[in-house]
A and B are shown apart, each in its own frame.
Chain A
Amino acid sequence: MSTRIATCVVLACVALGAPSTLSPAKIARIDTTADALLATVFEEIVRGQLDTALQNIEDLIRITPNFRLAHLIKGDILLARVRPIETIGAAPNAPNANIEGLRAEALVRVRAYRERPPEDRVPRYLLQLRNDQRYALVVDTRRSRLYLYENDAGTPRFVADYYVSSGKNGPQKVREGDEKTPIGVYHITASLPRQKLSDFYGSGAFPINYPNDWDRIQGRNGHGIWLHGTPSNTYSRPPRSSNGCVVLVNSDLEEIARKLQVGVTPVIISEEVKWLSLDDWTSERNSLERELERWRADWESLDTDRYLAHYSASFSAQNADLNGWARHKRLVNSGKTWIKVKVSNLSMFEDPGKAGLVSVTFDQEYRSNNLSNTVKKRQYWLREDDGWRILYEGTA
């Protein structure tokens, strides 16, 4: 039986220590197996095979002794021998909130096991990974799932996915203390080892850059949104249970920690991941890349009107609106006899929080007759009715 085999694989992994010599895709992860075992157990319960269901849930508890959901289901299987059970978590006199959390966890875990991420599609957000961005994380708060993608010469390749918990009050963080998880394009800004943290954060923490430029423009505030582990008294936390952080099972966090690059690895947090076929993904990427190239060429051309046509009416910069920006650019360009602009290390990530909004980052090497500089630049491009426009521009 496949469950038995899966269990054996996991037990073998546990017994042999971390299987670090295996390639990432081949690692039999505990969490995937936990979901697989859970799904099997549910199927057995539905078929009335309570004995094997009990054996399997006990196997699971042996592997993950602090897995509260597994204990809950074990309770149900036992109680089902005494009286009919109508739902997951039939514990009498139990606090309702606790049960609801575990029920929700059961549903998202089984759903994740049954509905695998589509193999021939990619999350639409990962339009362009930089060469040095070896991995990208994409979070789906509705499915309570984190997807790990590898940068395979510019194309995102699925590696693994993990159960995660997010903010108590759901997604779309707006202000400090709202206990919501932000939706947007972020990256890892630091790595905090277990030794520097309390037990609450489990095996480590990785802060992300909320609020980002777009969040600030939108007037969002708050801070301290992290990816982190789980306290030692539980294997996992319910799907909606954090103060806004994205929480992983400790063993999962340890596994992805090896792949995360501080200041580099993108973390895209969505309410629900939107997928694109590779063809659609390629044409979307090419369309924006062409537009960026036109912007660069128009800047070099010293035709300020053509250059300004790339900017949206609702454009803003760090200290200017479109009019201020236009005045400044006309003034600067009037003193130029030539300009050369080079764009390199380009990355483009569509923002899950606003359709058609793309966070673009690149190294800009600017040379002219009287000034040269190199900056790291961030632009937000928006697909408006008649094409791509720049909504924001500044240094990254």
Chain B
Amino acid sequence: MLRVPPDSKKHEPMTCLPRLVAQLVILVFSITLCAPLAHADELQDINGLLKQGQHAKALERVNQYLAQKPGDPNGRFIKGLILAEQNKTAEAIEVFAALSRDYPALPEPYNNLAVLYASQGDYEKARQQLEKSIRTHPSYATAYENLGDVYTKLASQAYDKALQFDSSNSAAKNKLSLIRDLMSSGRLPGAPSAPTVALKDAAPPPAAKSAASKPESKPAEAKAAVAAKTDAQKTEAKAVVTAKVDAPKAEVKPAAVAKADAPKTDAKLPRAQEGDQQAVLQAVLAWADAWSQQKVDAYLGFYAQDFKTPKGEGRPEWEAARRERITGAKKIEVAVESPKVVLKDENNAMVSFKQKYRSDTVKVDSRKTLVMVRTGGRWAIQQERTGS
């Protein structure tokens, strides 16, 4: 491996970074991988260069960084992002593919692979990667959203074949989101064993071990580590949301899931119910995400056919009003905090949480309860109640 003299870039001039992003990077890397602060600084600088569009410089720096720390997942991840920004899709794919091989439990590389495959028009491969991403992290909102877009695109391709018409200029065009930060998914401690598995499998391959920084915790300590991380993750997650990066190609979609606290799950729940709880929660988070993204059709799609409209008005009137309200806002951010899922039976559940709603004009925090019903295998909202 190419080695660069360690002092060659020590006094790189500081670049002006959005503050929160800088914090985020330090936070993420120091928490997750115990990188020494100096290294985190370096990555932060590289990230800054990337965000300023100085791709060539960023690439040079990350190559130097990787020469010193071969195999370092954070460095490799940023390198993948840089290559993607440079439209070196094949090389970027190579980087993320290698990362996902070495760290099969991390959802982010799969997601980014999917984005790159999709950019090549290979939606089938994109779908496979996103499904892997979600398998490793069952409540990963960005991957869900991307998968939704990929499904929509695949559906549109299937419809084209069915109807022998070309819809390529119709509304089905979707740009997928690259994940900008490793560990952006903000693992939910409530997700069935996902954090533990993630940490265990995230151990770097033997070859890279000596040089790469080590994952924070070993399987045996995972539980404690997760608990300890929760607070830090909250901060990290907020940072993710605020750090709307103006990248030319892909916009960071704030992951609603990242904003969620640990759901209060009953520790003694049987396995199946735990899965159901997870599914209910996923639906709620995806609903909040669609709302935040102002994707009205997707948002309305979360309401059951027999949804009780708040004032008893007709469904079309209610939908029209919601559509007007949501599309009328310049921006919307909806965060779900401290969700609590109560399963009534296998097809009925209630979810209460603190809803933090921010738009360009309004800021409302409220308690919300959703009555959820499972029809046709998916959870939908039957009733929506607001109250403190």
Contact = CB atoms under 8 A, between A and B. Distances in A.
Interface of A: 45-50, 68-72, 74-76, 78-84, 89, 91-95, 98-99, 102, 233-234
B1 interface: no
Considering the complex of A and B, which 5 residue pairs feature the smallest CB-CB distances, nearest first? A48-B377, A75-B158, A72-B162, A83-B301, A91-B159
B377 A68 contact: no
Contacts of B376: 45-46, 48, 80, 84
Interface in B152-200: 152, 154-159, 161-165, 167, 170-172
Contacts of A91: 155-156, 159, 162-163, 167
A48 B378 contact: yes
Contacts of A78: 151-152, 154-155, 158
Nearest to A47: B377
Given A50-B377, A83-B297, A92-B170, A102 B151 contact: no
A68 B167 contact: no
B148 interface: yes
A122 to B, nearest CB: 37
Nearest to A50: B377
Interface residues of B, number: 28
A165 to B, nearest CB: 16
B98 interface: no
Given A49-B377, A81-B151, A82-B148, A93 B170 contact: yes
Contact of B162 (A48, A81, A102): A102
Given A83-B297, A91-B156, A71 B151 contact: no
B298 interface: yes
B164 A75 contact: no
Interface string B347-367: 000000000000000000000
A259 to B, nearest CB: 32
A79 B171 contact: no
A134 to B, nearest CB: 39
Contact of A92 (B158, B172, B298, B301): B172
A74 B301 contact: no
Contacts of B161: 68, 71
A392 B376 CA distance: 60
B159 A75 contact: yes
A72 B301 contact: no
Contact of B156 (A47, A48, A75, A99): A75
Contacts of B147: 81
B297 A68 contact: no
Nearest to A77: B155
Contact of A74 (B158, B163, B164, B377): B158
A81 B157 CA distance: 15
Which one of B162, B298, B305 has the greatest number of beta carbons of chain A within 10 Å? B162
Contacts of A93: 167, 170-171
29 contacts: A48-B375, A49-B377, A69-B162, A70-B162, A71-B158, A72-B159, A74-B162, A75-B155, A76-B155, A78-B151, A78-B154, A79-B151, A79-B152, A79-B155, A81-B148, A82-B152, A83-B298, A84-B378, A91-B163, A91-B167, A92-B170, A93-B167, A93-B170, A93-B171, A94-B163, A95-B165, A98-B162, A98-B163, A233-B164
Nearest to A97: B163
A89 B152 CA distance: 13
Contacts of A48: 375-378
Contact of B165 (A45, A74, A79, A98): A98
B159 to A, nearest CB: 4
Which one of A47, A50, A89, A93 has the greatest number of beta carbons of chain B within 10 Å? A93
A99 to B, nearest CB: 7
Contact of B159 (A50, A71, A81, A234): A71
A75 B170 CA distance: 16
A48 B170 CA distance: 29
Contacts of A81: 147-148, 151
Contacts of B170: 92-93
Contacts of B164: 68, 98, 233-234
Given A72-B162, A84-B305, 11 more contacts: A48-B375, A49-B377, A71-B159, A75-B157, A75-B162, A78-B155, A79-B151, A82-B301, A89-B162, A91-B155, A92-B170
A84 B301 contact: yes
Contacts of A45: 376
A47 B155 CA distance: 20
A83 B375 CA distance: 13
Interface string B292-308: 00000110010001000
Which one of B147, B171, B297, B377 has the greatest number of beta carbons of chain A within 10 Å? B377
A102 B159 CA distance: 11
A95 B158 contact: no
A49 B154 CA distance: 18
B127 to A, nearest CB: 9
Contacts of A102: 162-163
Contacts of B154: 75, 78
A49 B377 CA distance: 7
Contacts of B378: 48, 84
A80 B156 CA distance: 12
B131 to A, nearest CB: 10
Contacts of B152: 78-79, 82
A199 B209 CA distance: 63
A150 to B, nearest CB: 36
Which one of B158, B159, B376 has the greatest number of beta carbons of chain A within 10 Å? B159
A171 B135 CA distance: 53
A8 B249 CA distance: 45
